[in-house]
Amino acid sequence: MFRKEGHTVSLVEAGRDFFDAIRKTRPDFVFNIAEGFEGRNRESHVPAILEFLGIPFSGSDAFALALSLDKLAAKIIARSQGIRTPDFSIVSFPRRAMPKGGNNKLFIKPLCEGSSKGIRFTSLVHNQKELMKECRRLRASYGPVPLMAEQFISGREITVGVLGTSQPQVLGLMEIRWKKPQEHGDFIYGLETKRNWKEWVEYEAPAPAPGVLKKEIETMAVRMHQALGCRDISRIDFRVDKKGKPYFLEINPLPGLSPEYSDLVLMMRRLGMSHHALVMAIFREALKRYPCLHR
């Protein structure tokens, strides 16, 4: 699509030889979609290298990406901003992980991962036995990685797109839910769900929300985007409980842009924006930081 806009394009894989490859290519600008391979800083590797080499790029910088991927850090910042988020604790010893008070449903997930890595139907636990079993499963699959236990919010799942940097704007809200809720329990957007999304999942954009709820979610989304220092684009996930209160879950400042299945693309298509237009909008936002590249 960049070629259609008159640009010369080179694809550079973000592998272990990326540093040498990007120095050899020496592009005027990088549209970054690289998520990295491993470690809590994996999404930061490419932006850090580009910043070191002085190469302009789209999206958030290395610090914002690392901060957002760390769910504990993101939730602490959310609380500092007065943004409602479920109670949470780090699972150092599973027997100590159950938060005090609230409901008896916990959601267990790796602390520094995205793209539903580690998320299954079994991530929702109801008692100590299920908690221990789920922690063992995650550690058998991913090693001794930090885990987070979060109070589970039964209710609606809503994702929000935010575009911009100094003056970010909400692109829209989309609800994600079961097509046939009677065949499932609480909505869990994990691996099993995403593998069967065409059959199981229904997406509605704009999300049905009364004015007060919509405004609160939009305010929370923009505030998180700014508090974490996100640039150009982000997608932010919320749950709305049965009383109509929204809770911040996670922020993704490097949202997927697959034209077929990525949530942000699906949302914008339902709101009337094509995949091409969305990518170009992100590109134009990034170019605002680099006046020397303007034509």
Q: Where are the domains of the chain?
A: 87-152
Instruction: Measure the CA dihedral 124/262/293/15, to 10°.
Output: 70
pLDDT band at 38 (very low <50, low <70, confident <90, very high): confident
Q: What DSSP element (H or E) covers 64?
A: helix 62-69
Chain mean pLDDT for the chain: 91
pLDDT at 100: 52
178: amino acid identity, one letter: W
pLDDT at 186: 92
CA distance 48 to 39: 14
Yes or no: domain 87-152 corresponds to CATH 3.30.10: no
User: Does residue 93 surpass a pLDDT of 70?
Assistant: no
Q: Residues 9-26: what's their mean pLDDT?
A: 91
pLDDT at 92: 67
**Phi and psi angles of residue 154, each rounded to the nearest 5 degrees, phi first:** -75, 125
pLDDT at 103: 58
pLDDT band at 217 (very low <50, low <70, confident <90, very high): very high
pLDDT at 28: 94
Q: Residues 69-77: what's their mean pLDDT?
A: 95
Tell me which long-range contacts 98-102 makes (C-beta under 8 A, separation of at least 24).
Answer: 98/128, 98/131, 98/149, 99/149, 99/151, 102/151
In this predicted structure, which of 38-42, 99-103, 160-164, 238-242 has the lowest mean pLDDT? 99-103
